[in-house]
C-alpha cells in the first residue's frame, strides 16, 4: 500500500480493494501508523468529494473550497509533491483509484458528501493530456471514460445531488469546422484527438446518467489553464517558460503558433467550479468556461512590459490543431461568475511564482 504525504491534523484513509486484498480492510493513518477511526468534518462544515484533488487544477479547487468553509474529501492516488501543505488539517484524503468501484463506494460511504467534483484525467509522466491520450490510448479510455462512469455510478449510489467535473474545450473540432469565430455550447462537438473523444464520450455518458438517475451533472469545458504549480509539459508550460526566461533575463525562443487561444488562470478555474457547486438554481449539463483570449505575441509583449529586458523571440508555426474560441457568456450569466485574471494579472502571478522558485 502506498502512503501519501500526510500531516498530523489531516485524516488520511488508505484503501485496498477486496480485488487486491482478501479482507477488504481499510487503514486510517499516516504512512504505516494506524489511528482510531475519527469523524472527518467539524460541526458546520460541508463535506465535498474531490476526485483528483491533489493534481494541478484539483488542488486549487480543494483550496477554494477550504477557503469557503467547506471540508473537502480528496480522493485519488498518492502524489510525489504536496500542493496543499498550506491548508493542512482542513481537508481529508482517501487514497484510491477512480477505476476501483470498491474504493469509490467506501469513500462515499465514509464521508457521505452531497456534492462531488472530478478533475481526473490520464497523464503520462510530465506529458500533457493531449499527448498522453495519443501515447496510451487504452489507459486514456480506462481513466477518462470508464473511470468517469465508475465515479458517477458510485456518486449516484451514494445519493450525491450535484456532480461537477472538468470537461474540456477539446470536445470541439478544428476552428475551420465552424462558421463563426466563437462557438457556444449549442455548437456540435467534433473532436479529432483521443483526449477530446474521451471527454466527448464522458459528456454523453453524463447525459445518460442525468436521464437515468435525475442527478445534476455539469461538465466545465475548460480552456488552456495557466498558473503556478503546473508540472506537466504542453502548451501551457511553453507559456510559463516565457515568464521564467523573463525573470532570469536570459534569451529564449518559443516555437508556437500566433493565433488567439482561450486561456484561464487556474485560480479562476477553481472559482468557476466552486460557483457551479454552490449555485442555488438548476444548471445545464455543459458550459464553456474561459478567462480571456490572447496570442503568444501578446503574451511575450506583456512579459516585456513587466520585464523590459525580456529577450524572448517567437518562431511561429502553423498549429497541429487550432480549436475555435469559445463563447463563455452563458455560464457567467447563469451563475454570476466572473474571472478575476486577465493577461496582465496572469503575467504578474507567473513572474512572482518564477521569482519564488528562483529564490
Once rounded to an integer, what is the mean pLDDT over residues 281-301? 98
pLDDT at 136: 81
**Using CA of residue 300, residue 303, residue 308, residue 309, what is the dihedral sign?**
negative
Once rounded to an integer, what is the mean pLDDT over residues 230-256? 84
Tell me the pLDDT of the chain averaged across its residues.
85
pLDDT at 238: 82
Q: Beta-strand (E) ranges in 155-251?
A: 162-168, 182-183, 216-222, 224-226
Residue 21 phi, psi dihedral angles, 5° rounding: -150, 125
pLDDT at 240: 84
Once rounded to an integer, what is the mean pLDDT over residues 268-285? 98
Once rounded to an integer, what is the mean pLDDT over residues 138-151? 94
Is 20 a residue whose pLDDT tops 70? no
pLDDT at 22: 31
- What does each C-alpha distance from 312 to 239, 294, 315, 354 come to in angstroms? 11, 17, 10, 16
- State the pTM of this model: 0.87
Instruction: Identify any residues that bridge with 28 across adjacent strands, giving them in sequence order.
Output: 13
- Rounded to whole angstroms, the Cα distance separating 151 from 98 reads 6
Contact 197, 134 (CB under 8 A): no
Instruction: Please tell me which residue, 338 or 227, carries the higher pLDDT value.
Output: 338
Locate 95 and state its grid cell.
487514497
- Rounded to whole angstroms, the Cα distance separating 311 from 325 reads 29
**Torsion angle of alpha carbons 101, 104, 110, 113, nearest 10°?**
-130
- Give pLDDT tens digits for 309-355: 999 999 999 999 999 999 999 999 999 999 999 999 999 999 987 56
Contacts of 109 (CB under 8 A, 6+ apart): 158
pLDDT band at 11; cut points 50, 70, 90: very low
- Rounded to whole angstroms, the Cα distance separating 352 from 120 reads 28
Instruction: Please tell me which residue, 41 or 2, carries the higher pLDDT value.
Output: 41
Between β-strands 47-51 and 71-76, what pairing exists: parallel, antiparallel or unpaired? Answer: parallel
- Rounded to whole angstroms, the Cα distance separating 279 from 113 reads 16
Residue carrying the nine cell digits 489511528: 35
- What does each C-alpha distance from 133 to 122, 145, 237 come to in angstroms? 7, 12, 18
Q: Beta-strand (E) ranges in 137-211?
A: 162-168, 182-183
Between β-strands 26-28 and 12-15, what pairing exists: parallel, antiparallel or unpaired? Answer: antiparallel
Domains of the chain, with CATH numbers? 12-224+266-290+326-332 (3.40.50.720)
Is 1 a residue whose pLDDT tops 90? no
Between β-strands 115-118 and 182-183, what pairing exists: parallel, antiparallel or unpaired? Answer: unpaired
* H or E, element range at 74: strand 71-76
For residue 156, the SS3 value is helix
pLDDT band at 196; cut points 50, 70, 90: very high
Amino acid at each position: 500500500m502506498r502512503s501519501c504525504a500526510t500531516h498530523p491534523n489531516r485524516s488520511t484513509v488508505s484503501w485496498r480493494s477486496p480485488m487486491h486484498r482478501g479482507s477488504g480492510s481499510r487503514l486510517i493513518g499516516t504512512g504505516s501508523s494506524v489511528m482510531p477511526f475519527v469523524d472527518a468534518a467539524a460541526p458546520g462544515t460541508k463535506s465535498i468529494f474531490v476526485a483528483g484533488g491533489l493534481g494541478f487544477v484539483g488542488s486549487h479547487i480543494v483550496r477554494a473550497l477550504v477557503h469557503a468553509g467547506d471540508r473537502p474529501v480528496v480522493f485519488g492516488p498518492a502524489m510525489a509533491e504536496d500542493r496543499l501543505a498550506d491548508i493542512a488539517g482542513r481537508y481529508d484524503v482517501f487514497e484510491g483509484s477512480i477505476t476501483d468501484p470498491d474504493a469509490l463506494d467506501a469513500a462515499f460511504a465514509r464521508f457521505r458528501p452531497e456534492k462531488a467534483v472530478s478533475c481526473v484525467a490520464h497523464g503520462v509522466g510530465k506529458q500533457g493530456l493531449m499527448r498522453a491520450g495519443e501515447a496510451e490510448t487504452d489507459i486514456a479510455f480506462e481513466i477518462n471514460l470508464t473511470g468517469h462512469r465508475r465515479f458517477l455510478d458510485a456518486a449516484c449510489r451514494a445519493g450525491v445531488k450535484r456532480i461537477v467535473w472538468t470537461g474540456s474545450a477539446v470536445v470541439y473540432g478544428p476552428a475551420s469546422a465552424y462558421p463563426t469565430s466563437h462557438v457556444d455550447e449549442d455548437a456540435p462537438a467534433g473532436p479529432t484527438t483521443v483526449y477530446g473523444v474521451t471527454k466527448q464520450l464522458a459528456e454523453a455518458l453524463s447525459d445518460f446518467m442525468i436521464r437515468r438517475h435525475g442527478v445534476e451533472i455539469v461538465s466545465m469545458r475548460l480552456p488552456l489553464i495557466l498558473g503556478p504549480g503546473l508540472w506537466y509539459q504542453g502548451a501551457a508550460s511553453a507559456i510559463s517558460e516565457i515568464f521564467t526566461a523573463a525573470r532570469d533575463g536570459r534569451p529564449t525562443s518559443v516555437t508556437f503558433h500566433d493565433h488567439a487561444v482561450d486561456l484561464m488562470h487556474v485560480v479562476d478555474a477553481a472559482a468557476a467550479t466552486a460557483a457551479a457547486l454552490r449555485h442555488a438554481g438548476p444548471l445545464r449539463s455543459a458550459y464553456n468556461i474561459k478567462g480571456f483570449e490572447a496570442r503568444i505575441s501578446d503574451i511575450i509583449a506583456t512579459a516585456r512590459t513587466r520585464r523590459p529586458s525580456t529577450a524572448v523571440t517567437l518562431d511561429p508555426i502553423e498549429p497541429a490543431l487550432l480549436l475555435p474560441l469559445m463563447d463563455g457568456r452563458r455560464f457567467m450569466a447563469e451563475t454570476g461568475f466572473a474571472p478575476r485574471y486577465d493577461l496582465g494579472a496572469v503575467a504578474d502571478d507567473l513572474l512572482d511564482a518564477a521569482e519564488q522558485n528562483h529564490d
